Structure formats: structure tokens, C-alpha cells
A and B are shown apart, each in its own frame.
Chain A
């Protein structure tokens, strides 16, 4: 287990993400300037110890690496972007925790050892970055999904399992979800990309609580944990890139 060392607090020097002013990457990633250019061009980035990624140090199962992201302590988080620098598809997800805590747990497919980064954008437009290195034997992105080889699985496409737990401090509730979906990356031979790209959570009145966009690297049959504020039933709706949709109401 590792979280971003405190030392990066010292590098909390905001800088515009141009090559000249780009802050040094505490993870020493060979792809840092590429990542910065691709996702934060012309924007302000800062490494910030309040933005944490929790993951095992080594990927035991490259198809299913558990990750938790958190920006607790950072006010007004508008969006959280998760990328794996050295994955063939770098962008894993983006999360708008509208009425939820800025934290999320998910699993993803890793192709080789890589930094996992989370960038949390605050209201002032600054991207606050945290991350860890993950060691991996890899192959997760180019391995066919189990679902792609199993027609029975397809009949349960988008089946939702889930449950709500009241938070320990009673300030909110945790939603855990599992959706059946192959989440094909398009990188396995002859199997086109096919993945859930959006999940929206709303309350009984239809008020949106959180919005999640997922991409190819999210693991097959995604398992997600959201930390919501408030209580009560949650409406889950989502869909994949081929227009299949799902919706389910999860009651406390």
C-alpha cells in the first residue's frame, strides 16, 4: 500500500502546464509531459498531498486492479480525472462528485507498470494532482474479456447489483454497485471496444448526485463505491457506447 508521500506538499507550486513551467513530477514518470500536454494543456496544475490514490503496490490481477481515489480536505472539487500514464488507453474515468464526497473506488485493467494519477479540479480551475506507481506484469488491456467468450453472460448485460450502507459517522451513505458488462477495450484481437461510458446517480426527486464517465480500462463487470452525502434511495442510470442502457433503484 502506498499513498503519495507528504514531501510533495513541498512542491505545491501551482504552474501552468506548459513545457517550460511544468512542475517536476514526484512520480518521475517518463510520460509526464505527454500526460500534462494531453489533459492539462494551458491549465494550472499542482501536486497536492490532499489528493490521494490508494492501490496495492503490485497488481496481482492485471485485469482487476483495485484503486481508491480521494480528495478529502480539498474544497469544491468539481471533477476528478484518473489516468494511468503508461496504459495504452490512459484515461480511466472522470468523476463529478456533485453531491458526493470527492472519493471513489473502482478497478481497472493494467497493461504494464505505470503511475496511476488522479487530478482533482477545484472551482478556481486548478488541477490538484496525486498518484502512486503500480508494479504490474500486465497484459490486462489486451486480454479478451471473459464476457466476450461467453454468450450466456451477454443475456445478463447491464444487470445491476448494489446496496447502500450508512456512513460510520452518519453524515452520508456509501453506494456499492456492480454492473455486468464486458468493458472490452478494443485492444484484444478481433474484439471491438464495447464499454459503459456513463453512470448517473440521482435521488428520489431526480436531483443529480454524481456523474461518472468511464472508459475502456475500467475492469469487466465494474464494481464501484461512491460516498454520497445525505440519505435515501438512489436511482442509478447509465449506458454503454452502443446505446444499451440500464437503470436501477437502490433503497437503503
Chain B
């Protein structure tokens, strides 16, 4: 029997990969220092896939005097555990607080890695996860597959409120807002002037809108534009030191609003709206076409309904 060397190499690689596939998906998380004691784990600017295991999201943590604060726990149990391991490589201090920015599955499904730790969110986040958590989880299993293994929804067990929060010897300012979802929590670290903006800010990736309220979101971004910070960690996309992410998110959302409203007023139906041209300036945004298609589905029904008056019942002729 002939055996080509490359075939042998392939067989060896397959043999080696067998035990690896039985283990958890390896996210290869690398904590990136964005300020003194403040770290971000930057996900890919892609859609959910089997290859990325759902790591399309930014999470972060802040090392305080006597403990660590985690901001969002990622898309899966394995991500949460590997996030925790990445933290442990930098500090032996205990995790004393988890803060969830909002209810979307890529931000909260790593909660299982933090048993016994207070996990706080805005009340709306807990409500959404109670009602839809299992459906969101099921959808992620479908999109991401095995990286989700053993992941279950763990509801937040504490309430986050707008205002100052001192934890682990670190002064934080929690900012409760709305727009991307019906409960968007931003976390501002007073010492380093780092803002974890959650999904209120996207950068270099098209925003997602499954639970968005565009007018509210735009209002929140207007307010955020007047906010002073040194570092901004967006929910998706690279870390910023300026307002470019706020400006880009706002520009896109304004265009989306005006485009959908204009299309509805011209009497277009959804399949036609899906084919409208995109402005040149957005073409560099990752996953633009997919997110635009999703946004039309989420948002267009309300705009078109505004253009269709109720007709009084008439006698059939």
C-alpha cells in the first residue's frame, strides 16, 4: 500500500485533533490592557459561526484593590470559563462583581462561569432573559454549534441602577440608557476614564437592531457625544480613544431611519427595501448586508404601518 507523506501528515493531524474536539472550544482569548487595571477581550467583527464559537463580542474586566469586576460574560459557558482563566493569569484577586450591559446572548451566556458572584443588570435585561433567554440560547446553539456545549441561561441575581457604584475599591459610574435594547447599561471607570459602552456603540461593524428603538438610541448617542472619556470599549469593534464610534453608529442609525421611513412613504414593500443601495461610506462596515437585511425585518413593519391609514368598513359592492 502506498502512503503519501502529506496523507500521513493529514492522518496525524486528524489523530491529534480528536482529543481537542472532545475538549471545550478554544477561544484563544487575550486580555488587552486598555487603561491602568482595565482590560478588554476583543471579539471578531463577524457574524456568529461555528469557527468563531460566537466570539463576536467585546467583554472586559477591571482589576480593583481587592477584587475584579467583569463586564459581560460572552456567548457561552466555555467563553465565560476562558474569560475567567484569562483574568486569573493577570491577578489572583477574586471576581467580586459581574455587570451585564444588556440581554443579548453574546453578552450574557457565560454567566455560568461565575457561580456565587453577584451578577447585576438593569431590570429590563432580567425581564428579557426570563422571557426569551431559552429562545436566544437555542438560536445560538443553531448558529454556533458545539462551542455552546453545556451552556444554559443563568439569570442575573442582582439589580444594577443608574449612578455611582463602589466595588472592589474601584469607583464606577453606571449609566442606564435605552435604544439598542430596552435596557442598556454603560459602565464608566472613574479612575481611568474608560467607558464600556455595550452595544450602544459599534465600530467598523454594522449595528444590530433586533430590539432597537432608533429614536431612543439616537437620543442616547446624542447624550453620549457630550460625555468625556479617555477610552471607549464598544460592544463590537476596536477600542476607541475618540468619538468616532459614537459618530459612526449615529450616522448609520440616522441613515437607516431615514431610508426606511422614506421607503415606506414611497410605498415600497420589504423585498424592495432589502435591495436599496447602501451609501458608499458604510461599505467598509463588517457584516453590513446581513445586518441591513435583519434591520429591515425588525424595523420596517412599524414604518410602513405609519403610512397605511385605517380604512372604515364599507359595504361590499
Which residues of A are at the interface with B, using a C-beta cutoff of 8 A? 1, 54-58, 60-61, 64, 66-68, 105, 107, 137, 159-163, 165, 174, 176-178, 202, 206, 223, 225, 235-237, 245-250
Interface residue B305 (Cβ < 8 Å from any Cβ of A):
yes
Q: Are B293 and A68 in contact (CB under 8 A)?
A: no
Q: Are B308 and A55 in contact (CB under 8 A)?
A: no
**Docked complex Cα distance between A177 and B304 (Å):** 10
Which of A159, A163, A237 is within 8 Å of B307, CB to CB?
A163
Q: B294: nearest residue on chain A (CB-CB)?
A: A60
A-contact 0/1 string along B292-317, CB 8 Å cutoff: 01101110010011011111111111
Interface residue B165 (Cβ < 8 Å from any Cβ of A):
no
Interface residue B247 (Cβ < 8 Å from any Cβ of A):
no
Q: A56-B271, A163-B267, A235-B314 are in contact. List 20 more A-B contacts (CB 8 A).
A: A1-B271, A1-B293, A54-B271, A54-B275, A57-B293, A60-B294, A60-B298, A64-B301, A66-B274, A68-B269, A105-B272, A161-B311, A165-B266, A176-B304, A176-B307, A225-B267, A247-B313, A247-B314, A249-B314, A250-B311
CB distance from B31 to the nearest CB of A (A): 33
Q: Are B313 and A248 in contact (CB under 8 A)?
A: yes
Within 8 A of A (CB), among B195-233: none
**Docked complex Cα distance between A245 and B315 (Å):** 11
**Docked complex Cα distance between A137 and B275 (Å):** 23
CB distance from A133 to the nearest CB of B (A): 15
Which residues of chain A are within 8 angstroms of B269 by Cβ–Cβ distance?
66, 68, 105, 176, 223, 225
Interface residue B21 (Cβ < 8 Å from any Cβ of A):
no
**Docked complex Cα distance between A188 and B119 (Å):** 36
Query: Known contacts A64-B301, A105-B272; is A160 also within 8 Å of B310 by CB?
Result: yes
- Greatest chain B CB density within 10 A among A60, A137, A162, A177 is at A60
Interface residue B32 (Cβ < 8 Å from any Cβ of A):
no
Q: Are B139 and A247 in contact (CB under 8 A)?
A: no
Q: List 8 A-B contacts (CB under 8 A).
A: A105-B269, A159-B310, A160-B310, A161-B308, A176-B308, A178-B308, A202-B317, A225-B267
Which of B266, B296, B316 is within 8 Å of A245, CB to CB?
B316
Q: B289: nearest residue on chain A (CB-CB)?
A: A1
Which residues of chain A are within 8 angstroms of B272 by Cβ–Cβ distance?
54, 68, 105
Which residues of chain A are within 8 angstroms of B311 by Cβ–Cβ distance?
160-162, 236, 248-250
Query: Known contacts A176-B304, A223-B301; is A1 also within 8 Å of B317 by CB?
Result: no
Query: Known contacts A247-B315, A248-B313; is A162 also within 8 Å of B270 by CB?
Result: no
**Docked complex Cα distance between A134 and B233 (Å):** 36
**Docked complex Cα distance between A159 and B313 (Å):** 8
Q: Are B308 and A162 in contact (CB under 8 A)?
A: yes
CB distance from A82 to the nearest CB of B (A): 13
Which residues of chain B are within 8 angstroms of A223 by Cβ–Cβ distance?
269, 301, 304
Within 8 A of A (CB), among B15-49: none
**Docked complex Cα distance between A178 and B305 (Å):** 8
CB distance from B294 to the nearest CB of A (A): 5
Which residues of chain A are within 8 angstroms of B274 by Cβ–Cβ distance?
1, 54, 56, 66
Which residues of chain B are within 8 angstroms of A176 by Cβ–Cβ distance?
267, 269, 304, 307-308
Q: Are B309 and A246 in contact (CB under 8 A)?
A: no
Which residues of chain B are within 8 angstroms of A161 by Cβ–Cβ distance?
305, 308-311
**Docked complex Cα distance between A249 and B315 (Å):** 9
Q: Top 6 closest A-B pairs, CB basis? A: A66-B270, A165-B267, A105-B269, A68-B271, A248-B311, A161-B308
Q: Are A248 and B308 in contact (CB under 8 A)?
A: no
CB distance from B110 to the nearest CB of A (A): 22
**Docked complex Cα distance between A60 and B312 (Å):** 33
CB distance from B122 to the nearest CB of A (A): 25
Q: A202: nearest residue on chain B (CB-CB)?
A: B317
Query: Known contacts A64-B297, A137-B139, A176-B308; is A105 also within 8 Å of B317 by CB?
Result: no
Interface residue B142 (Cβ < 8 Å from any Cβ of A):
yes
**Docked complex Cα distance between A120 and B145 (Å):** 40
**Docked complex Cα distance between A58 and B314 (Å):** 39
**Docked complex Cα distance between A57 and B298 (Å):** 15
CB distance from A224 to the nearest CB of B (A): 8
Which residues of chain A are within 8 angstroms of B142 by Cβ–Cβ distance?
137
Q: Are A105 and B271 in contact (CB under 8 A)?
A: yes
Which residues of chain B are within 8 angstroms of A64 by Cβ–Cβ distance?
297, 301
Which residues of chain B are within 8 angstroms of A247 by Cβ–Cβ distance?
313-317
- Greatest chain B CB density within 10 A among A56, A160, A178, A223 is at A56
**Docked complex Cα distance between A126 and B88 (Å):** 70
Q: B272: nearest residue on chain A (CB-CB)?
A: A68
Which residues of chain A are within 8 angstroms of B271 by Cβ–Cβ distance?
1, 54-56, 66-68, 105
- Greatest chain A CB density within 10 A among B269, B298, B308, B309 is at B269
Q: B139: nearest residue on chain A (CB-CB)?
A: A137
CB distance from B267 to the nearest CB of A (A): 3
Q: Are B293 and A107 in contact (CB under 8 A)?
A: no
CB distance from B212 to the nearest CB of A (A): 13
**Docked complex Cα distance between A176 and B11 (Å):** 60
**Docked complex Cα distance between A1 and B270 (Å):** 11
